[in-house]
Amino acid sequence: MKQQTIRRYVLDEVDRDILLHLSADGRLSYTDLADLIDLSRVAVRKRIERMEDAGVITGFTVVVDWDLVVTEE
């Protein structure tokens, strides 16, 4: 039986800040994130791509409040 190795991703403070901001608002642009954490837009994009490649960020999603939704009849 093949044993699976789990790789851990070490977050630094900047990666943690990016994740916290994206967790609060997944629609933030690279530019907005860069302004919030005082980093260049390109550096933010590269860090997000690296976390996506490592499986730390697995996707972006929408949360729907179904109690507010009415369907047409």
Residue 42: CATH number of its domain = 1.10.10.10
Q: What is the C-alpha separation between 31 and 60, in angstroms, rounded?
A: 17
Q: What is the C-alpha separation between 40 and 30, in angstroms, rounded?
A: 9
Residues 31-72: tens digit of each pLDDT: 999 999 999 999 999 999 999 999 999 998 888 899 999 888
Q: Does residue 25 lie in a domain region? A: yes
Q: Does residue 7 lie in a domain region? A: no
* Residue-level pLDDT at 57: 95
Q: Does residue 37 lie in a domain region? A: yes
Cβ 22 vs Cβ 33: under 8 Å? yes
pTM of the model: 0.79
Joined tokens for residue 19: 């994740």
- Residue 53 φ/ψ, nearest 5 degrees: -60, -35
Cβ 9 vs Cβ 51: under 8 Å? yes
Residue 61 belongs to domain spanning: 13-68
Q: Does residue 8 lie in a domain region? A: no
* Residue-level pLDDT at 63: 85
Evaluate if residue 27 carries a pLDDT over 80.
Answer: yes
Q: Does residue 5 lie in a domain region? A: no
